[in-house]
Chains A and B, each alone.
Chain A
Amino acid sequence: SQQGEEDPQALSIQEGENATMNCSYKTSINNLQWYRQNSGRGLVHLILIRSNEREKHSGRLRVTLDTSKKSSSLLITASRAADTASYFCATDADGGANSKLTFGKGITLSVRP
């Protein structure tokens, strides 16, 4: 069953603008991850935030986590045309070797040059 639900479902912005994507989930988590998928390709891990963390940064990416609201946001600053892709949040309830990730429906980001 779907755990993460992203919004908006689609986002179109101008190059140089910031893109903010949100994810909500339903059950408790060990960590939450964001992935990127280019059309017709596999997913690439972007960033992971643990349940005891509130904010993490990686280059132009900033992710926040609010466990009380069961929500996370991914901010991409100074967007580029190459950031055009689908973005998925994924929740990990257990954090163990066999732990499954449950993916949201994804957000389609289009960055106009």
Chain B
Amino acid sequence: GAVVSQHPSRVICKSGTSVKIECRSLDFQATTMFWYRQFPKQSLMLMATSNEGSKATYEQGVEKDKFLINHASLTLSTLTVTSAHPEDSSFYICSARDRGRGNEKLFFGSGTQLSVL
């Protein structure tokens, strides 16, 4: 149980295009979903926190107009990287909390490797 599906796993796009990444909780309702960015051999940097039906809360330094987050239901959150540039190339990971299992541990998607040419 508590499976988080993230899609796509890998995407290559041209500079200037937009890319949408989906994060779904398959067998539970997610109270909160989190989006992280990770550079090679580095830690996870929290980008934003999203709750179903409300605006996402972005971390300092994260451009909300560039990284659009939509959390339309208790099982789906999306991250759209708008007008992507090579510096946006990174590994993006979503995670979610299971409202039925308490508020502690996070369940992670398998990540999306974004490469912007």
Contacts and interface: CB of A to CB of B under 8 A. Distances in A.
Given A97-B97, A98-B51, A2 B104 contact: no
A82 interface: no
A100 to B, nearest CB: 6
Interface string A83-97: 000001000100111
A101 B106 contact: yes
Interface residues of A, number: 26
Interface residues of B, number: 28
Contacts, number: 61
Interface of B: 4, 6, 31-32, 34, 41-44, 46, 49, 51, 57, 91, 93, 95, 97, 99, 103-111, 113
13 contacts: A2-B43, A40-B113, A41-B110, A42-B95, A42-B109, A43-B93, A48-B105, A95-B104, A96-B103, A97-B31, A98-B49, A98-B57, A100-B34
